[in-house]
Amino acid sequence: MLKAPQHQVAGHEAAGIGKLGPLVDESGHFYKPLQGDKRGSNEVAFYTSLSTNSEIPEHIQRFFPRFYGTQHIEASDGSGLRPHLVLEDLALGRANPSIMDIKIGSRTWAPESSEKYVEKCLKKDRESSSLPLGFRISGLQIYRSKELGFWKPGKKAAMKLSTEEVKLVLRRFISSNTLDDLDLKPDCAFASTVYGGSTGILSQLLELKAWFEDQTIYHLYSCSILVSFEKELALEGKDPGAQIKLIDFAHVYEGRGVIDHNFLGGLCSLIKFISEILTAPGECKIEVSAKADQKDLTHSANGVVADQKSLTDAVNGVVADQKNLAESDNGVVVDQKNITNSVNGIVADQKNLAESDNGVVVDQKNVTNSVNGVVADQKNLTDSVNGVS
């Protein structure tokens, strides 16, 4: 019985009805539909090359999903038989994994790419954190608790995090005290067991780095490192199964005698971020660079606004972690309490929402009105009009 994977944080999801996306079976296979154009054949060629290339040492092979060839199966969108890559299901055996999908490299396009493709990618690289940071978080979910489920910010918001916000997210990822209240300063309780240690994330990243300093076989563009672990195991004092896996190889090129300096640079940048947490887990600046730590903010337009209290208006931007927001238009709004109005955007994880129009609203309690949008997982909803509830 094939079904949509439960823990997809980025990429093409099959979760929506009638959408093409990956599928998993119960014996640990992950079926990824081949993209119709050159990307599909590129990815097959890469996995085939990787699995047969004796120059890739075993301790590096383990960072890639196992490859079981390709297979025609019924596509998730009901469009009939379609070729799929058959890969290892990386979430197999994981109950509630915390996951980050981190796209590596300040440049997601190859020198050989077409003008049109370069333009498209460059725009995204410049708008996201790829250019300044050398990587971007393409998606993430952090397990909080059975009651609260996952903290799963929107992909667009995740992509554009500033340096300080990325630092915050990387700390929140391995903290215990943000389970109930995202307002708290992350305690980095699992830093040493997840990021640190001889088998931890940092150690794995350093192994990968050593290989990238030397290998001239592949150049990986737009490829991600999937970082995951099980918070519940960490809480119980067990091995949390911290692991990194490389995924997404639709844009792999031959190295032709040159190292993948683009991937390596981004990887080193990520390593530096993780190292800093291990060196000084207590030194987390909560303030973010865009507009930070403001209290009693009256208006905020067109920008990232985070961690404020008593905001009156916020327009056209990402708004996060605030309390007592009066109005928010046209943007992503997450994790707030006591919001009065929110129009045309994604609103998530709030309590005591009075009104929400035209957008996706999830995980809230005590919503009074929600119009024209998707509303999910709520309690005590009074009105929901014209949408899926």
Report the length, in residues, of the chain.
389
Cβ closer to its own copies: 247 or 264?
264
Contact status, residue 166 vs residue 290, Cβ threshold 8 Å: no
Contact status, residue 4 vs residue 22, Cβ threshold 8 Å: yes
Give the list of residues 6+ apart from residue 242 with CB closer than 8 angstroms, or none.
193, 194, 195, 199, 200, 201, 204, 227, 228, 229
Cβ closer to its own copies: 146 or 256?
256
Q: Which two tokens stand for residue 243?
A: 């692991």
For its own copies, how many residues bind (rule: CB under 8 A)?
A: 29
Q: Which of 216, 302, 380, 382 binds its own copies (CB under 8 A)?
A: 216
Residue 265 touching its own copies (CB under 8 A): yes
Instruction: Please spell the DSSP secondary structure of 174-187, one letter per residue.
Output: T-STTTT-TTSPP-
DSSP run (H or E) holding 326? none
- The span from the CA of 4 to the CA of 25, in Å, is 9
Q: Which of 62, 72, 156, 272 binds its own copies (CB under 8 A)?
A: 272
Contact status, residue 350 vs residue 339, Cβ threshold 8 Å: yes
Give the rounded distance of the alpha carbon of 382 from its chain centre: 32
Binding positions for its own copies, 38-67, rule CB under 8 A: none
- The span from the CA of 289 to the CA of 35, in Å, is 38
Residue with token string 């390593």: 271
Closest distance of CB 154 from its own copies, Å: 23
Q: Which of 25, 74, 77, 164 binds its own copies (CB under 8 A)?
A: 164
What's the DSSP call for residue 323?
Answer: B
Residue 264 touching its own copies (CB under 8 A): yes
Residue 107 touching its own copies (CB under 8 A): yes
Closest distance of CB 334 from its own copies, Å: 24
Cβ closer to its own copies: 83 or 132?
132
What's the DSSP call for residue 309?
Answer: B
Residue 266 touching its own copies (CB under 8 A): yes
Cβ closer to its own copies: 64 or 263?
263
Cβ closer to its own copies: 112 or 236?
112
Closest distance of CB 256 from its own copies, Å: 6
Residue 132 touching its own copies (CB under 8 A): yes
Q: Which of 259, 292, 315, 371 binds its own copies (CB under 8 A)?
A: 259
Closest distance of CB 105 from its own copies, Å: 9
CA atoms within 13 A on the CB side of 181: 6
Site string for its own copies, 334-373 (x = CB under 8 A): ----------------------------------------
Q: In terms of C-beta density within 10 A (0-12 exposed, 13-18 middle, 19 or more buried), how is residue 191 classed? A: buried
Residue 136 touching its own copies (CB under 8 A): no
Residues in touch with its own copies (CB under 8 A): 106-107, 111, 122, 126, 131-134, 163-164, 167, 213-214, 216, 256-259, 261-262, 264-266, 268-269, 271-272, 289
